[in-house]
Each structure stands twice: as structure tokens, then as C-alpha cells.
Amino acid sequence: MSSVSKHSANLTTAAAAIASFLAGMDVLIVNVALPTIASDLGGDMAVQQWVVDGYTLLFAALLLFAGSLADQFGAKRIFLIGAALFGGASLFCSFAWSMMALVAGRCVLGIASALLLPASMSLINEASPNPRYRAWALALWGAGGASASAVGPLLGGLLTPIHWSLVFAINVPFCLAILAVAPRIAPSPQRPTRFDWIGQILALTGLGALVAGIIEVGSAGIAAPATLLPLLAGVAALVAFAYSQTKVAAPMMPLGLFRVRGMQVALQIGFIMIFNWYGMVFICTMFLQNELHMNPFAAGLVFVPSAFVTIVGNLTGGRIVTARGSKFSITLGLAIMIAGFMFEFLTPRPIPVWVIATGLSVVGFGAAITTPAAAGVVLKSVNASQAGIASAMFNTFRQVGGAIGVAVFGVIATFLPSLDLALRCVFLASALLLAYVLAFELLRWKDAPVTAAAAESVA
């Protein structure tokens, strides 16, 4: 790699890592600010859930479509459009005059993140032909997303006491930094593709209705028409989506990729990890402020240790993948996360703040080791022409997990007598789900490279 191309690759990696950071941070930075926003603009638990899920839902539902756009028009072009839209939507949210306006702005932010994330992963793949450099670049990309999960609540706690609008305005300088390095990012190849409009409509309808139905369980009850109708409509639309993928000429989610065992492992890891983390942070920030009566700044400080530990873990994770392989890294990371969740679950009531901070750090460290390994498995499981769609599938499963996690754990919190008990349910459920993934990974997957012929067989 020449000095010029290496400099371009480094800038590309940095821009992609910033995008990964933004996409992850914007899910969770708003959590600490929600009580203050609700006090200012109004809104019950369901509306607060939509402030979070309006973002994650559009993010998740459009990732596959955005992956196809990145292949069709080039990852660089889609990446820069996403950065510009993200900055504009952030400004809109910072000036929101009502909860409905804020939810609308958050939906636009979700669209922008969908454009950013798969394109950023594809840009790393294009700029990193050397496997060792790619492992390092993916580790940095993973560090951006994973550290954002910890830094987001911290920044929310720091900025909310000044004014809650700053939790959105803080995105703008990052977007400008991405656009500033755009001339140094190498052009991306364009691959003619056909869009699966039927699949996209069914996916968006199905996920939207499903999440709406789950959220309504807490407000209206499980047997209410407002709950049952969207749940049934969501399930029906998702079944129709799966069926459509076997019939259309250019499916947005090639079902053949699910036959690759490495993809099965990576997709399950992506879904369950973010399901756990987003749901935990949503309930945890409410527990700290509503039950322990901590102010937003103090609640944000609880996440400081995990922020630093997560960054170190991601950088360490890249070295572990290079030295020991993906299977070892994933096994180690999952085991650490399970230990962290069980440590928090087994603590006597009430849960002390130091236990929450320690547990978050342990879980964050395990997640930081696992994320770059799982991302690498995705790229090893497909050929170069499918990198965009495979990356989008991986990140779709992650964000769908996050949206459903917030909805499910939010509903659990409405039915339990205390947030302390709700948080314990989150810890136990998270440990059990990760134990399932660990067993699947150990028993049914071998970390073997995918040949070109094998990759073509699932195209």
C-alpha cells in the first residue's frame, strides 16, 4: 500500500469510524435526556419509547435498502448523502417544538443512519485489501459503534443540564468532519442492481406494526385491539416479506446467505447483543433517575467506566482476532458478557450504583471483543460483490434487536412493581440469550475461511 493510498485508507477508516460512532451514539444519547424532554414537551412511557424506536425502527427497516443503494450508486456517494442528512435532521431535532415533531425528526435521523452504516462498512472493505489492515480497520470501526453505546449516555448526562437540545446538536460537528475529508476518500465502484420495492414495503410495514404492537402492550394491554391488530399485521407482513424473498428476481435479503453458518452466528450475535444493550440502557437510565433520583449528569457518569473499557476492548479485540481467529474472540467476548450480566443479576437488592457501573464495563468489554470479530465473519462469508448487502443484513439484525429490546423491556417495566426488579429481569434475560448464542457458536460453527466458490453458491 503506497503512502498516498495508505493516507486515503486511514482517512476513510476514520470517517467510517465516526459514522459508526454517530449511528450508535444517537440511539442512546437521548435516553438520559428523556425524563427532561418529557417534562418540557410532555409524553408518557409509550411516547418516550417512540423517541428511541422512531430512530432505531427506520434505521433497521431501511438498512437492507441502503445496502443495495451503496452497491448501485457507490458506497462513497451514499455515505456522504447520509452524513449531510444526519446533520440536517440533528438540527431539526434540536429545535423540536413538540414530542411529535421530535419523533418525526428522529425518524429522519434513522433514515440517515441507514444510509451511513452499511456504506461505511463497505468503504472499509474497499480501502483495506490487506487482511491485517482490514482487521485493524474493522476494530476501529467497531470501537466507534461500541464506544458510542457507552459514551452516548455520558454525553447525554453532560449536555442535558445545559439544555436537552444539545444532545442532538452535538452531531453536527461530527457530520461536518466527515464531509470535510470527503475529497480524500477514494471513489467507490458502482454495481448495477435492482431494488426490491415489494420487500422493502413489507419489511417496513411488518417491523413498524410489530414494534407498535409491543409498545401498546404496556399502554393498552395484551388483549386490546390497539395491541392485537398491529401485532397480527406485523407478523403477517413479515411472513409475506420472507415469502416474497423467494420469488423476486433481486431480493433485498438473499435467503441463501442464511445457509452460511458463519452468517447465522454473526446475525444472531448482532441481534441479541443490541437487544440486550439497548433495552438495558433504556431501563437503567430510568432506574437511575426515577428510582434512585439521580440527576442527568450523575446518571451519565455511571457510564464513564464502560466508555473507556469499551474503547480498549475494541482495539484489543482486533489483535485477538488476528492472533487467535474469530471463533476464539467470539467465545471469549460472549463469556465475558454473560459473566457481567450475572454479576449484576445476583447482587442483593437494591442494586448499588457501583455494581451497575462495574457490570456495564464488563459487558461493554465483552461486546467490544465480539463486535469486530462478528463483523469480520460477515465479510468472510460472502464475496466482494455482496459485501454491501451482507453488511446491511448484519446491521439490520442489530438495529431490529435494539428496537425490539427497547419495546420489550419498556413493556416489562410497566408491569413490574419497581424499576429495580425490571432491571434484574433485563440482566437475567440478557445472560440467558447470550448463553444460547454461545452454545450455538461452539456446537455448530467452525471458523473456516469461505472459498470464492462457496460464496458464489449462496449468491
Question: Residue 101: its pLDDT value, please?
Answer: 92
Contact 394, 378 (CB under 8 A): yes
Taking CA atoms, 248 is separated from 196, 205, 245, 251, in Å, by 7, 18, 6, 6
**Minimum mean pLDDT range among 4-8, 72-76, 137-141, 357-361:** 4-8
Question: Residue 341: its pLDDT value, please?
Answer: 92
Whether 459 has a pLDDT exceeding 70, the answer reads no
pLDDT in tens, 254-269: 887 787 778 888 899 9
Question: Residue 445: its pLDDT value, please?
Answer: 79
CA 387 to chain centre: 18
Could you give phi then psi for residue 152, rounded to 5 degrees?
-55, -55
Mean pLDDT computed over 367-388 = 77
Identity of residue 368:
A
Average per-residue pLDDT in the chain? Answer: 82
- Rounded CA gap, 38 and 155, in Å? 18
Half-sphere exposure of 445 (CA within 13 A, CB side): 29
Helix (H, G, I), strand (E, B) or coil at 352: coil
427 Cβ partners below 8 Å, 6+ apart?
280, 341, 342, 344, 345, 359
Q: Which three cell numbers stand for residue 71?
A: 452497491
Mean pLDDT computed over 175-196 = 78
Calculate the dihedral angle through the C-alpha atoms of 326, 316, 148, 352, rounding to the nearest 10 degrees: 100
This prediction has a pTM of 0.76
Contact 445, 284 (CB under 8 A): no
405 Cβ partners below 8 Å, 6+ apart?
274, 275, 276, 277, 278, 279, 280, 282
- Rounded CA gap, 176 and 4, in Å? 23
Q: Which residue has the higher pLDDT, 261 or 236?
A: 236
Using alpha carbons, select from 149, 154, 409 the residue that is nearest to residue 296: 154
Question: Residue 111: its pLDDT value, please?
Answer: 92
Mean pLDDT computed over 336-355 = 88
Mean pLDDT computed over 137-164 = 78
> Interhelix angle for 45-73 vs 197-220, to 10°?
170
Mean pLDDT computed over 321-339 = 88
- Rounded CA gap, 369 and 310, in Å? 9
Mean pLDDT computed over 195-212 = 85
Write b or e for each residue in 235-260: b if 16 or more Cβ atoms lie within 10 A of its Cβ, otherwise e. Answer: eebbebbeebbeeeeebbbbeebeeb
- pLDDT band per the 50, 70, 90 thresholds, residue 455: very low
Whether 280 has a pLDDT exceeding 60, the answer reads yes
Helix (H, G, I), strand (E, B) or coil at 82: helix
What is the end-to-end Cα distance of the chain in Å, rounded? 30
- Rounded CA gap, 305 and 150, in Å? 8
Calculate the dihedral angle through the C-alpha atoms of 35, 37, 42, 48, rounding to the nearest 10 degrees: -60
pLDDT in tens, 81-128: 999 999 999 999 999 888 899 999 999 999 999 898 878 877 887 776
Question: Residue 168: its pLDDT value, please?
Answer: 93
Whether 453 has a pLDDT exceeding 60, the answer reads no
